[in-house]
């Protein structure tokens, strides 16, 4: 665990320093676009924070390669290098979009290319689902399922990037939960070492979000842009595939681990989805909303969940904190249920269920009863 904490600290410090440097350079050379109609912020703000985050992630990969504790990850460097290469592809396209607004088809194509690099060159694919020994059928089915899963998570994370500190904080909480889950899951499967690619990626993401958040908190000095949001989604999806899709379903047999036959067998596949539940919900609603209106599913609008919370009267910071609360409640509820699955029913899930019920009730109150209602000013348009 100390080595993972050192990795988080290293990534956070490097991200903080590089974000400051990118922010200063962006201001000096005016590397920021004007205000768009759907934007919430009122002054032009640099959007190249994703560049700093990627460089910090790359530095963390290099740092880990020199540490004997992570030698098990680098014993087979193919998956690690494939993830890093795919991240580079998506960051380059994201930066181009942040500067020049690329067509959505180009961005989507790049996302499929990045996902293909991870699945084909890195060999990270969903080969099995830990549900009663269920395995994915053919190689093409596994490839297709993995690619679409990665692309969906990338877009889901990118879609909620609309308020200061929203994506960085949500991903920080989600990856914190997922790190604990992957760490414990490897322990439960009897592995000889706790060092694995999924936990490594989660730790790197935690550090990157910690280092970036001080500059992105309201009022934000810099945004991560599409480059940063898509990168976070890509790495989160890769982490989930690396742990859930690769584990032998037989070792998660409910009888072997002493779990209830029903929920216990589903938690390992549910929790990686749960940690990105809010982004996925927003993504799904946006796709349905836009297609019903006869528009492209990737056409921008101002009807995301965070926009709706602002229209309800929440301040920017309150809306962000409520998103944090929802992410924490849902994620920790399932994590507590997973931790409790080593016991016999009904005591195994009780703590997670109680935490979830109380937490959801509190979040509903916070969501629908804003502490101070205020009229939202019309967003500024770009100068002619």
Q: Which residue ranges are tagged as binding site for Mg(2+)?
A: 158, 226
Question: If we measure between CA atoms, which residue out of 365, 279, 274 comes closest to residue 318?
Answer: 365
For residue 114, give Cα distances in angstroms to 48, 55, 92, 122, 237: 20, 17, 11, 11, 12
β-sheet bridge partners, residue 135: 128
Separation between Cα atoms, residue 300 and residue 162, nearest integer Å: 11
Cβ atoms of 27 and 46 within 8 Å: the answer is yes
For residue 240, give Cα distances in angstroms to 37, 67, 99, 319, 343: 35, 24, 30, 27, 25
Query: Hey, CA dihedral for 192, 8, 199, 323, is it positive or negative?
Result: positive
Separation between Cα atoms, residue 59 and residue 309, nearest integer Å: 37
The upper half-sphere exposure of residue 4, i.e. CA atoms within 13 Å in the direction of its Cβ, equals: 20
Q: 77-100 vs 49-65: helix axis angle to the nearest 10?
A: 170
With H, G, I as helix, E, B as strand and everything else as coil, classify residue 134. Answer: strand
β-sheet bridge partners, residue 260: none
Separation between Cα atoms, residue 354 and residue 159, nearest integer Å: 31
Question: If we measure between CA atoms, which residue out of 260, 58, 267, 258 comes closest to residue 182?
Answer: 267
């Amino acid at each position: 665990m100390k080595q993972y904490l050192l990795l988080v600290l290293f990534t956070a410090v490097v991200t903080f320093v590089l974000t400051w440097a990118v922010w200063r350079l962006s201001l000096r050379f005016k590397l920021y676009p004007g205000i768009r109609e759907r934007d919430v912020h009122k002054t032009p703000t640099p959007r190249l924070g994703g560049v700093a985050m990627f460089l910090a992630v790359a530095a963390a990969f290099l740092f880990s390669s020199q540490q004997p504790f992570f030698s098990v990850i680098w014993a087979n460097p193919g998956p690690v290098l494939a993830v890093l290469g795919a991240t580079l592809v998506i960051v380059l396209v994201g930066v181009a979009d942040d500067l020049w607004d690329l067509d959505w088809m180009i961005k989507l194509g790049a996302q499929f290319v990045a996902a293909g690099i991870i699945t084909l060159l890195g060999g990270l694919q969903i080969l099995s689902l830990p549900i009663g020994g269920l395995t994915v059928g053919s190689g093409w089915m596994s490839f297709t399922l993995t690619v679409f899963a990665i692309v969906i998570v990338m877009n889901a994370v990118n879609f909620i990037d609309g308020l200061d500190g929203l994506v960085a904080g949500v991903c920080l909480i989600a990856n914190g939960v997922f790190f604990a889950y992957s760490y414990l899951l490897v322990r439960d499967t009897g592995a000889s070492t706790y060092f694995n690619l999924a936990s490594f990626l989660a730790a790197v993401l935690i550090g990157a979000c910690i280092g970036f958040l001080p500059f992105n908190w309201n009022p934000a000095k810099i945004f991560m842009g599409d480059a940063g949001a898509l990168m976070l989604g890509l790495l989160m999806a890769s982490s989930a595939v690396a742990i859930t899709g690769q584990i032998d379903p037989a070792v998660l047999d409910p009888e072997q681990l002493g779990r209830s036959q029903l929920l216990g067998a589903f938690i390992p596949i549910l929790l990686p989805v749960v940690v990105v539940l809010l982004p996925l919900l927003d993504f799904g609603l946006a796709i349905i909303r836009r297609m019903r209106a006869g528009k492209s599913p990737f056409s921008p609008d101002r009807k995301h969940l965070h926009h709706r919370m602002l229209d309800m009267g929440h301040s920017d910071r309150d809306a962000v904190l409520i998103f944090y609360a929802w992410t924490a409640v849902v994620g920790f509820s399932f994590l507590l249920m997973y931790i409790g699955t080593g016991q016999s029913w009904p005591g195994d899930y009780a703590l997670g269920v109680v935490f979830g019920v109380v937490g959801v009730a509190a979040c509903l109150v916070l969501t629908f009863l804003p502490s101070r209602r205020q009229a939202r000013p019309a967003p500024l348009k770009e100068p002619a």
